[in-house]
Amino acid sequence: MEKVIAGYKVDVTEEGYLTDRKQWNKEIAQALAKELGINELTEGHWQVIEFLQKDFEATEKIPTIRRVNKVGNIPTKDLYALFPDGPLMKATKIAGLSKPVSCV
């Protein structure tokens, strides 16, 4: 379905995940973050978002939280502090990626 985020018309799933990564930009990320209760995307947030995008680019898979820690060098504690209540689900949404489907 279509949705207007930060003034841009984008395609999203029913749960609000962007379906076309090419439609993503930083303003959309900010707006999505706000919707999820994160008022300001800090340097720490961007570090996570950039790793998710880079890793997805390379592997075509959403990384697990363990991989974000081991490969992205982002401590799990920090990840949960930055994106409370569902870190990977929130971070992937803000990063313009699909919803993670892994159990771990």
Q: Supply the minimum distance, in Å, between the C-beta of residue 7 and other proteins.
A: 26
DSSP state of 8: E
Q: Toward other proteins, which CB reaches closer, 87 or 96?
A: 87
Is 103 a catalytic site residue? yes
Q: Supply the minimum distance, in Å, between the C-beta of residue 69 and other proteins.
A: 8
Interface mask (CB under 8 A) for other proteins, residues 56-85, using x and -?
--------xxxx-x-----xxx--x---xx
For β-strands 2-5 and 8-11, DSSP reports them as antiparallel
Q: Which of 55, 89, 94, 101 binds other proteins (CB under 8 A)?
A: 89
Contact 12, 1 (CB under 8 A): yes
Which neighbouring-strand residues pair with 3? 10
d(CA 102, CA 81): 21
d(CA 100, CA 54): 15
Q: Supply the minimum distance, in Å, between the C-beta of residue 12 and other proteins.
A: 16
Q: Toward other proteins, which CB reaches closer, 22 or 77?
A: 77
From the list 1, 101, 103, 104, the catalytic residue is 103
Q: Which helix (H) or strand (E) holds 55?
A: helix 43-59
Q: Give catalytic residues, as residue numbers.
A: 103
